[in-house]
Amino acid sequence: EVQLVESGGGLVQPGRSLRLSCTASGFTFGDHSMSWFRQAPGKGLEWVGFIRNKASGGTIEYAASVKGRFTISRDDSKSIAYLQMNSLRTEDTAVYYCTRGYNSPSYWGQGTLVTVSS
């Protein structure tokens, strides 16, 4: 069974950093690209970025709203994808989801809440 479990969320002050992890199981992690999405409280869905698998070049793309502040990486040996978030702003407050794939993902984690507030 495919499972994606996000962790690392919490309360953080503006300007600080946080790293989210997405631990995968039930499939060969290295064969798949991984994506991050987010959803602010009471709002719609927003794409954050993705990282392709090595066979597809390992390239990374980001939404304009996070480019230069957020970094996506992966450790295929541990089956974990990461989202490093720096210079956090109040508008980054959201539930963050990781997904398998980068087009129309059918597997989503349960999400982890990040609250940016002083």
Partner 1 sequence: EIVLTQSPGTLSLSPGERATLSCRASQSVSSNSLAWYQQKPGQAPRLLIYGASSRATALPDRFSGSGSGTDFTLTISRLEPEDFAVYYCQQYGNSPRTFGQGTKLEIK
Residue ranges in contact with partner 1 by CB under 8 A = 44-47, 61, 63-64, 97, 102-106, 108-111
Least distance to partner 1, CB of residue 25, Å: 16
Nearer residue to partner 1 within complex by CB, 77 or 106:
106
Least distance to partner 1, CB of residue 16, Å: 25
Tokens 């129309």 locate to 104
The residues near 15 (Cβ < 8 Å, ≥ 6 apart) are: 87, 88
β strands within the chain, DSSP E: 3-7, 10-12, 18-25, 34-39, 45-51, 60-62, 70-75, 80-85, 94-100, 107-108, 112-116
Least distance to partner 1, CB of residue 95, Å: 9
Nearer residue to partner 1 within complex by CB, 5 or 76:
5
Nearer residue to partner 1 within complex by CB, 3 or 17:
3
Least distance to partner 1, CB of residue 50, Å: 8
- What is the C-alpha to C-alpha distance for residues 76 and 96, in angstroms, rounded to an integer? 21
